[in-house]
Every structure is written in structure tokens, then in C-alpha cells.
Structure 1
Amino acid sequence: MRFWGLKTCDTCKKAQKALADAGNTLEVVDVRADGVAPADLARFYAAFGDAIVNKRSTTWRGLNEAERAGDPVALIAANPTLMKRPVVEMGDQMTLGWDAKARAVWGA
């Protein structure tokens, strides 16, 4: 199971713990330290569309209108912390965020 998040994000910490407690082995990608591979970012955008951009983040609030109107994939590539997290993937299943729906998918 692959997990994209931030090691400092409380939601990501909760998700990692719940997934591990449910018996999953995680391959964790820290989006700030490790970055997000362009192919992964393209897949995330294809799956989730504009929802992949965390518009409640401090980084988002610091952008000007022209930057916000730009290509979401390029924006996240330049500012990885703009990506909503966590993204969890195993096989052909992929979830965004850590809401009740995501927890149900992963049995956590």
C-alpha cells in the first residue's frame, strides 16, 4: 500500500496509524521531503480532478489569483504541500483524504 502525505500532518499521522493497525504495510511518500513523481501527480489529477488541490492550506492562501488560476498539476509540482492528503493507493483502489468513506474503503 502506498501512502502520500506529510510527516507533520496530524490527519496523515492518524491515517497511517489506522492503516497499520488494520494490518497494512505502508510505503510512505512524504510529499515535502520526497516530492510527488509527475506520473503519480497526473494519475491523482485524473482520478480526483481539482479536489487534489488543498484550498484550505496556508500555501494556497499565500498564492495570488494568477497562480491560483494556473494548471493544478503544475501548481502542486511546484508546491507539493498544496496536494490534499493523504492519497492512499493499493492495486486499483485509490482514495483522497481521510474521511469516513476513505476509512471504509481501507477497513480502518
Structure 2
Amino acid sequence: MTLIYGIKNCDTMKKAMTWLTQNNIEFQFHDYRKDGLEAVLLKQWIKDLGWESIINKRGTTWRALDDETKSTMNDEKALAHALAQPAMIKRPLLIKQGKITLGFKAAEYQALFS
């Protein structure tokens, strides 16, 4: 089963889920805000991809951090901040057969599911 993690009201999430639905791909949606997020899972994502990939630096949550926090960010701090504010995690985060894909690009999804 394909899993997609994110926040329900995010426009990029809506685009990704619409694409999956239109292409008849079964998926399970996990909403960080409603369903929570396990520290062990997030820690594994950070280990696999690096906090720089997992954290959305273009989002308002990241931009609201003070400069010192941003400049001293590391795996441990990213884990703590993302658990406290899951909106900071890049969306969508899609897992298909153990492979993680961050963000949504139709061509990338097409390649992944063909």
C-alpha cells in the first residue's frame, strides 16, 4: 500500500492526492495534525534523507524561526522542531515499497507508478 503523509488543507497535498485518485492508485493518507507523527518514523526519514531534505525551508514555519536556530539546525533539532510543528515537514511525503518521494511533480509520480 502506498502511504502519503502531510496536512489535509495543503494545496500540494490536494494536487498529489488528486493525481493518485485520477490514476487509480490506492493510497492511505496520514495527516500529521490529526493522526500525529511517531518520533521513530521521523527520525528514520531524517537519517535516510537528511534534515535538509525533510524540512521545508520555503514554508512559513521555517521562516518564523530565529536566525540562530536556523543556522545551528541539525538532525536532533530538526526532529524536535518537526515533531512540535509538523507543518515544517516537506509535503507530501510519499512512501511506495519503502522508497520515499518528497514533494509533488506529476512527471515524477508518473515515473514512480509506471
The question of a shared fold, defined as TM-score above 0.5 by the shorter chain, is answered with: yes
Counterpart in 2 of 1:95? 101
Q: Which has the higher helix share?
A: 2
TM-score, normalised to structure 2, is 0.82
Corresponding position of 1:4 = 5
Does residue 80 (structure 1) correspond to residue 86 (structure 2)? The answer is: yes
Judge conservation of contact 1:19–1:106 (CA < 8 Å) in 2. Answer: no
Query: Is the alpha carbon distance of 1:8 and 1:81 closer, same or farther for their aligned partners in structure 2, counting shifts above 3 Å?
Result: same
Aligned mates of 1:67, 1:33 — CA distance in 2: 27
- 5+ residue gaps, structure 1, are none
* Higher alpha-carbon Rg: 2
Distance apart, 1:38 and its partner CA: 1.2
Post-superposition CA distance 1:27-62 (Å, at most 9, x none) = 111112222211221121122211110011111111
Match of 1:58 among 22, 43, 60: 60
Q: Which runs of 5+ in 2 are unaligned?
A: none
Q: Give the % identical residues.
A: 33
Q: Which runs of 4+ in 1 moved over 4 A?
A: none
Q: Is the 8 A contact 1:5 1:87 kept in 2?
A: yes
Structure 2 partner of 1:14: 15
CA RMSD in angstroms, aligned pairs only:
1.6
Alpha-carbon distance in 1 for matches of 2:86, 2:68: 18
How many residue pairs get aligned? The number is 107
Calculate the TM-score normalised by the size of structure 1.
0.86
Q: CA deviation at 1:24?
A: 1.8
